[in-house]
Structure 1
Amino acid sequence: MSDLIEEYLKKVLQEEGKIEIQRNEIAEIFNCVPSQINYVINTRFTMQHGYDVESKRGGGGYIRIVKVQVNSNIDLLERMNQIIGNHISEKEGQVIIGTLYDNELMTNREAQIMLAAIEQQNYSGNSLIDNQLRANILLSMIELLILKNN
């Protein structure tokens, strides 16, 4: 169900450039609960995926989704640096690498190397330290991509 909802929202986004929806309306279309719509938006339309989401709750509430437009590859890389910050989980790192690959900022081989470098099996099991190390590694790799794209 989540894949269908994601596909529908991405199709509308592609056609119109942005979406402004009400959870209940989309839930009715897919015959699901509004929390299912929340789940899809919160997991598949994040900044790491290249989307800006604004939400207003209440009677006239809405969710607005916009594909983030970047002026250059460098802008996208710098935005990813900001998202990474001082720590990042393996899952969040995978999403960022996928976004960079989808935007053709790296080859498949480079993406696979980056994914291998952030795999949890390479770390200690202390999530605080592991997420800091993972962030440092990703930031270093993205700096190399910035140099490559200048």
Structure 2
Amino acid sequence: MQGQNISDIIEEYLKRILADTHQIEIKRSEIAQLFNCVPSQINYVINTRFTIQNGYIVRSKRGGGGYIRIAKVNLVSDADVLDELIAVIGDDINSAQAFQIIQSLFEDGVLTRKEANLVLAAMDQRTLAFEDKRIENTVRARILISILNRLKYDD
């Protein structure tokens, strides 16, 4: 595990568990204690590595009996998940976030490598080389939402 930071190690640990069950329920304080880190480190990992863009749904309950539930989802098998993803994209999305979504669709087998590469080429920063980044991110979001809607309604 040399060269890995604590966030990478925690992410790997949670993904190993998810590989067997597709959904886990954890207590932030217990995981922090297991890895000898502060609970906010667990929040950071969950908020950055287990996003809808990466194919995960996270739900939590605060308080004494609180938990964090992480579920791996197939992005196109559930229209509600796609609708949530479209809502997250909103009116604009940067290239890194768009890449995460396309990578998740590829990993879930929804897109072939060739299809994923074509979509990435259409949304690339060099392709959408507008002087105004806001326009670039808006056009990228429109392209991605259109693709997701097509996937949602074309079986």
SS in 2 for 1:54: strand
Do the aligned partners of residues 34 and 125 (structure 1) sit closer, same or farther apart at CA in structure 2, a change above 3 Å counting? farther
Structure 1, 119-128 or 3-12: larger mean CA deviation: 119-128
Q: What's 1:23 paired with? A: 28
- Greater fraction of residues in helix: 1
Measure, in 1, the Cα distance between the counterparts of 2:75 and 2:119.
Answer: 23
SS in 2 for 1:86: coil
Aligned residues of 1:88 and 1:131 also touching (Cα < 8 A): yes
Do the aligned partners of residues 79 and 13 (structure 1) sit closer, same or farther apart at CA in structure 2, a change above 3 Å counting? same
RMSD between aligned alpha carbons?
A: 2.7
Aligned residues of 1:73 and 1:105 also touching (Cα < 8 A): no
What is the letter of the counterpart of residue 108 of structure 1?
R
Q: What's 2:139 paired with? A: 133
Percent of paired sites with the same residue? 50
Measure, in 2, the Cα distance between the counterparts of 1:56 and 1:77.
Answer: 23
Q: Give the CA deviation at 1:96.
A: 0.8
Q: What's 1:6 paired with? A: 11
What is the letter of the counterpart of residue 139 of structure 1?
I
Structure 1, 105-114 or 76-85: larger mean CA deviation: 76-85
Do the aligned partners of residues 61 and 129 (structure 1) sit closer, same or farther apart at CA in structure 2, a change above 3 Å counting? same
Do the aligned partners of residues 72 and 54 (structure 1) sit closer, same or farther apart at CA in structure 2, a change above 3 Å counting? closer
Aligned residues of 2:7 and 2:45 also touching (Cα < 8 A): yes
Q: What's 1:54 paired with? A: 59
TM-score, length basis structure 2: 0.77
Do the aligned partners of residues 144 and 62 (structure 1) sit closer, same or farther apart at CA in structure 2, a change above 3 Å counting? closer
SS in 1 for 2:60: strand
Unaligned runs of 5+ in 1: none
Number of residue pairs the alignment of both structures matches: 149
Q: Give the CA deviation at 1:102.
A: 0.7
**Map of 1:105-120 to 2, 5 A cutoff?**
105-120=110-125
Do the aligned partners of residues 49 and 37 (structure 1) sit closer, same or farther apart at CA in structure 2, a change above 3 Å counting? same
Do the aligned partners of residues 102 and 136 (structure 1) sit closer, same or farther apart at CA in structure 2, a change above 3 Å counting? same
TM-score, length basis structure 1: 0.79
Unaligned runs of 5+ in 2: 1-5
